[in-house]
Amino acid sequence: MPSSVPADTPHAAARTRSGATPRRSRFSLLGSELKVLFGRRRTWALLLALAAIPVLIAVAVRLSSGVAPGRGPAFLDRITQNGLFVAFTAMLVSVPLFMPLAVGVVAGDTIAGEANLGTLRYLLVAPAGRVRLLLVKYAGALAFCVVAPLTVGLAGAAIGAALFPVGPVTLLSGGVVQPPEAFVRILMIAAYLAVSLAGLSVIGLFLSTLTVVPVGAMAATVVAAVVSEVLDQLPQLEWLHPWLFSHYWLGFADMLRQPVLWDSFGSNALLQAGYVAVFGALAYGRFLSKDILS
């Protein structure tokens, strides 16, 4: 077989030279992923929709003649006295549906979205490495889980401060904290919610490795959240409740006690870590053996 092989091509020489450069792009993919995720319009639309929740609540309360105590969602009746309660109310209202919806869209899109565009094959040929890509994709989804509750909390605090007086906040345990301390409590609730959504995100990541249709993975993730919440409401399944990833979602009220009760935070973190381990392993097993045919 004729083979005129140039033993040392100019490329090979160039590569050897650049090989001496220590600066390799170790975290480039993560940076790129965050840039793409938070640079695209869809993510902004999701965050704007979430930010609209406190705005709507605040405007509605401002325009109405006032809320009778005990009516509506928790904290709603306190908004007229203290604008910071807009943030608490909005976060409470968004937990059962809006947050899972937004997280479902982002987590369900992780792998399936790339497969659908066809960019998955180019990322893998680059080569991104399957494990690295999976980790980066999950990191991106987690970043959204941090940003989403923060958006609701900060938008709530801002619109509350704009439309209502801001003063010392009476906590659930009866103690009173000053506004700066109350602001810290808002951040703590956002952190609690971010941890709460970690389990749902990893379920979305796993579902996303099963299909090349991102909408399917998104819908399945949201359905998983709703099913978990419904099961959590059935007293007959009480034995199951501590194992449901949504079980502690509304437990963030413990962040509003003096001193702060960390029990539910700890149980929640442990439960979510369990889900990350199980569904992370499933996603890993599926994605590493998957034939990329899209």
Partner 1 sequence: MSTATGSAALAIETHGLSKRFGQQLAVDGVDLAVPHGAVFGFLGPNGSGKTTTIRMLLGLAAASAGTVNLLGAEMPGGLHEVLPRVGALVEGPAFYPFLSGAANLHRLDAASRQTVPATRTARVERALERVGLGHAAAKRVHAYSLGMKQRLGIANALLSPRDLLVLDEPTNGLDPQGTREVRSLVRSLAHEGTTVFVSSHLLAEVDQMCTHAAVMSAGRLVAQGPLAELRRAGTARIRLVTPDGGAARQALAGLGLDAGPDPGVGQAVAAPGQPDGESIVAGLDGRGGQSHLLPEDVVAHLVRAGVRVRGFAVERESLEDRFVALTGEGFDVAQ
> Residue 220 and residue 193: Cα distance in Å, rounded?
21
Nearer of residues 12 and 59 to partner 1, judged by Cβ? 12
Residue in 36, 230, 240, 281 binding partner 1, rule: CB under 8 A:
36
Residue in 6, 69, 174, 235 binding partner 1, rule: CB under 8 A:
6
Token pair, residue 134, equals: 């999976």
Pick the stretch among 24-32, 99-107, 148-156, 260-268 that binds partner 1 (CB under 8 A): 24-32
Nearer of residues 25 and 233 to partner 1, judged by Cβ? 25
Min separation Cβ 117 and partner 1, Å? 6
- Interface of this chain with partner 1, residues 112 to 141, rule: CB under 8 A: 117-119, 121-129, 132-133
Min separation Cβ 128 and partner 1, Å? 4
Nearest Cα to Cα of residue 100 among 231, 38, 37, 193: 193
Q: Counting contacts by CB under 8 A, is residue 274 touching partner 1?
A: no
| 3-class state of residue 9 by DSSP | coil
Min separation Cβ 290 and partner 1, Å? 9
Q: Counting contacts by CB under 8 A, is residue 25 touching partner 1?
A: yes
**How many helices and strands in the chain, by DSSP H and E?**
10, 2
Nearer of residues 24 and 71 to partner 1, judged by Cβ? 24
> Residue 237 and residue 114: Cα distance in Å, rounded?
38
Q: Counting contacts by CB under 8 A, is residue 188 touching partner 1?
A: no
CB atoms within 10 A of CB 270: 10
Q: Give me the helix-helix angle, 85-94 and 98-117, nearest 10°.
A: 60
Q: Counting contacts by CB under 8 A, is residue 31 touching partner 1?
A: yes
Chain-centroid distance of CA 10 in Å reads 47
Token pair, residue 108, equals: 């369900």
Nearer of residues 35 and 243 to partner 1, judged by Cβ? 35
| Contact residues for 160 (Cβ-Cβ < 8 A; gap 6+) | 54, 58, 79, 82, 83, 84, 85, 86, 87, 166
Q: Counting contacts by CB under 8 A, is residue 285 touching partner 1?
A: no
Q: Counting contacts by CB under 8 A, is residue 175 touching partner 1?
A: no
| 3-class state of residue 169 by DSSP | strand
Write out the residues near partner 1 by the rule CB under 8 A: 1-6, 9-12, 14-15, 18, 21, 23-26, 28-29, 31-32, 36, 39-41, 117-119, 121-129, 132-133, 289, 291-293
